[in-house]
Amino acid sequence: MADVQQGSLAVVEKSLVALFVVVVGAVLVNKFRGKKLKLPPGPLAVPIFGNWLQVGDDLNHRNLGDLAKKFGKIFLLKMGRRNLVVVSSPDLAKEMLTTKGVEFGSRTRNVVFDIFTGKGQDMVFTVYGEHWRKMRRIMTVPFFTNKVVQQYRFALEDEIGRVVEDVKSRPEASTTGIVIRRRLQLMMYNIMYRIMFDRRFESEKDPLFLQLKALNDERSRLAQSFDYNYGDFIPILRPFLRGYLNICKEIKEARLNFFKEYFVEERKKLASVKTVELKCGMDYILDAQIKGEISEDNVLYIVENINAAAIETTLWSIEWGIAELVNHPHIQNKLREELDIVLGRGVQITEPDIIRLPYLQAVVKETLRLRMATPLLVPHMNLYDAKLGGYDIPAESKILVNSWYLANNPAEWDNPQQFRPERFLEEEKKTEANGNDFRYLPFGVGRRSCPGVILALPILGLSLGRLVQNFELLPPPGHTRLDTTEKAGQFSLKILNHSLIVAKPRVF
Ligand code: HEM
């Protein structure tokens, strides 16, 4: 009897244990199920490498566009330890850049950008928060208002006028051709250095200019290269990157010291001995430093940001515009006709004229659509776990908006591969470059959008306008068109070859 009782007790005990295990198991399964993330679609990832071996290093706008056709308007790539989310539709761009602009308003940096920005002591690559707000506020008055455009419009016109005169003075320009980019690069430096420091460089051979350009070019090459991806994606491979990172550190130090010694300190000295009538950009920035709002390092990173964000992007866009005009002579002629009719033959275009020149504006917009200088915007990041398009986006994902794909998707645009400015006077006449249409975001939109658009658009309009007014732009002898092979970087798009261009002066 006692044995029977003990036996049934053991059965009860076992049943209870079994029940307990089942209940706990169910609770845990439920809990894990609840936690299971709904990640965006993407190719199957392998351990350690993720998708890196499948998709490779060249994550440019076209390759990412091809992946969007396969995986949809949002997809996830695991690049080693990094999550890379790519957004390729206007509705998701809207959700991310505006509706959830705060959540997705931070920036990722990689191992190289960490070095060049002092881990985000700058404005362009810092996370969304107090520091970014302060830096953007301090930079707005000296660089990003219409007042600045009005104050410097004569400087812009002067610099572009000098390009025209220099090109006219070079006989080979009208015969064998010249690499006009080199002169336009000097122009862009002069425009930005006049705004920043009230300084300009006399010629392409000015030793200070050559040194500055060499340091900036090296920074741009090192930062935009895909060659260092492996060490960024897979930390155990980082030791192999030591040499590369050391070069980045040397260039960064040399560059910031150069800005300090030759420009910032010089401006301080000048401001201390005489009262400057008209403040230049640096005077405002130094005022903020004196008030204790920012540190000396922050000042230097502001100079770094203007050098990196303003000069090359605008120059690449001018170059693309020229290349398209050379390769489409009927568009070049039509633009020249507009300038002649509206302004009068030989009357040089000035900033207030741009508004009266719709075809010129359309040429600029079409250049920025087909040949976006920053086709993936500047990478964004969510500091915390977030949702996008109904998917879970793990904290600290790198988010690219493929704005080139948005503006070149045949489902959204008529014949997008064709360079046709007329589209912006016809079916796209309401589409502006300021982000009023989420299919067209050459400058981004929302909190982290490009504040320099206010300067970039007049510079582009004036440069292309003056060149077309004064010259017939042609491919070099023996060529029927210019080579427009693209060279993409981490988030840049420039023309690979700086071809010779024939600039035949017009006779008025
Ligand atoms: C054609 C020329 C230019 C293009 C295509 C361009 C494009 C862009 C784009 C796409 C972004 C990132 C937007 C985003 O991530 O959502 C950006 C950011 C920025 N751009 Fe430009 N840009 C140009 C010229 C300029 C100029 C002339 C300046 C300065 C005078 C400038 C200063 C900046 C700054 C400071 C940022 C960072 C904004 C932030 O993170 O808050 N850009 N630009």
pLDDT digits (tens, 9 = 90+) for 476-503: 999 999 999 999 998 899 999 999 999 9
In this structure, are residues 485 and 455 in contact, taking their beta carbons and an 8 Å threshold? no
> Which residue of 398, 443, 491 sits with most ligand 1 atoms within 8 Å of its CB, as the best mutation to test the pocket?
443
Residue 71: is its pLDDT beyond 70? Answer: yes
Rounded CA-CA distance 329/468 in Å is: 11
Q: For residue 306, report the distance from its CA to the centre of ligand 1, in Å.
A: 9
Q: Phi/psi at 388 (nearest 5 deg)? A: -145, 125
Q: For residue 40, report the distance from its CA to the centre of ligand 1, in Å.
A: 28
> Which residue of 107, 450, 490 sits with most ligand 1 atoms within 8 Å of its CB, as the best mutation to test the pocket?
450
Q: For residue 440, report the distance from its CA to the centre of ligand 1, in Å.
A: 15
Residue with the larger pLDDT of the pair 36 and 477: 477
Q: Can you tell me whether residue 491 is helix, strand or coil?
A: coil
Average pLDDT, rounded, for the chain: 93
* Nearest residue (CA) to ligand 1, atom 27: 310
Residue 15: is its pLDDT beyond 50? Answer: no
Predicted local confidence at residue 36, as pLDDT: 87
Q: pLDDT digits over 203-215, tens only? A: 999 999 999 999 9
Q: For residue 91, report the distance from its CA to the centre of ligand 1, in Å.
A: 22
Nearest to 465 by CA among 362, 313, 328, 311: 362
Order the strands of the 82-87 sheet from edge to edge.
Answer: 74-79, 82-87, 398-401, 380-381
Rounded CA-CA distance 162/171 in Å is: 16
Residue 473, strand partner residues: 503
DSSP 45: P
Q: For residue 310, report the distance from its CA to the centre of ligand 1, in Å.
A: 7
Rounded CA-CA distance 167/174 in Å is: 9
Residues 6+ apart with CB under 8 A from 338: 357, 358, 359, 360
Nearest to 205 by CA among 216, 197, 213: 213
Q: Can you tell me whether residue 380 is helix, strand or coil?
A: strand
Q: pLDDT digits over 419-474, tens only? A: 999 999 999 999 999 999 999 999 999 999 999 999 999 999 999 999 999 999 99
Name the token pair of 323.
């290349």
* Nearest residue (CA) to ligand 1, atom 5: 373
Which ligand 1 atom sits closest to the C-alpha of 192?
A: 30
Q: pLDDT digits over 265-314, tens only? A: 999 998 877 666 779 999 999 999 999 999 999 999 999 999 999 999 99
* Nearest residue (CA) to ligand 1, atom 18: 450
Residue 24: is its pLDDT beyond 90? Answer: no
In this structure, are residues 155 and 290 in contact, taking their beta carbons and an 8 Å threshold? no
Classify residue 186 by burial, with Cβ atoms within 10 Å: 0-12, 13-18, 19+: buried
In this structure, are residues 442 and 368 in contact, taking their beta carbons and an 8 Å threshold? yes
| Domain 27-505: CATH class, spelled out | mainly alpha
Q: For residue 28, report the distance from its CA to the centre of ligand 1, in Å.
A: 48
For residue 480, the tally of other CB atoms under 10 A from its CB is 7
Which ligand 1 atom sits closest to the C-alpha of 317?
A: 1
Residue 327: is its pLDDT beyond 80? Answer: yes
Name the token pair of 153.
């419009």
In this structure, are residues 298 and 304 in contact, taking their beta carbons and an 8 Å threshold? no
For residue 109, the tally of other CB atoms under 10 A from its CB is 22
Q: pLDDT digits over 356-415, tens only? A: 999 999 999 999 999 999 999 999 999 999 999 999 999 999 999 999 999 999 999 999
Predicted local confidence at residue 270, as pLDDT: 87
Residue 21: is its pLDDT beyond 90? Answer: no
Nearest to 380 by CA among 48, 49, 128, 27: 128
Predicted local confidence at residue 35, as pLDDT: 63
Residues 6+ apart with CB under 8 A from 79: 50, 51, 52, 55, 229, 233
Residue 280 marked in a binding site: no
DSSP string, 91-127: HHHHIIIIITTTTT-B----HHHHHHTTTTTSSTTSP
Predicted local confidence at residue 170, as pLDDT: 97
Rounded CA-CA distance 297/264 in Å is: 11
> Which residue of 188, 313, 406, 464 sits with most ligand 1 atoms within 8 Å of its CB, as the best mutation to test the pocket?
313
Helix axes 453-470, 146-168, angle to 10 degrees: 30
Q: Phi/psi at 286 (nearest 5 deg)? A: -70, -35
Residues with CB under 6 A from ligand 1: 123-124, 136, 143, 305-306, 309-310, 313-314, 317, 373-374, 377-378, 380, 442-444, 448-452, 455-456
Counting residues of the chain whose pLDDT is more than 90, the rounded percentage is 88
Residue 23: is its pLDDT beyond 50? Answer: no
Q: For residue 309, report the distance from its CA to the centre of ligand 1, in Å.
A: 6
Q: For residue 479, report the distance from its CA to the centre of ligand 1, in Å.
A: 35
Q: Where are the domains of the chain?
A: 27-505
Side chain identity at residue 68, one-letter code:
A
Predicted local confidence at residue 109, as pLDDT: 86
Q: Which residue has the tokens 């000295």?
A: 269
Residue 20: is its pLDDT beyond 80? Answer: no
Residues 6+ apart with CB under 8 A from 195: 142, 143, 148, 152, 155, 280, 281, 455
Which ligand 1 atom sits closest to the C-alpha of 195?
A: 30
Strands 493-495 and 471-474 turn out to be unpaired
Predicted local confidence at residue 18, as pLDDT: 46
Considering Cα of 63, then 67, then 72, then 78, what sign does the dihedral take? negative
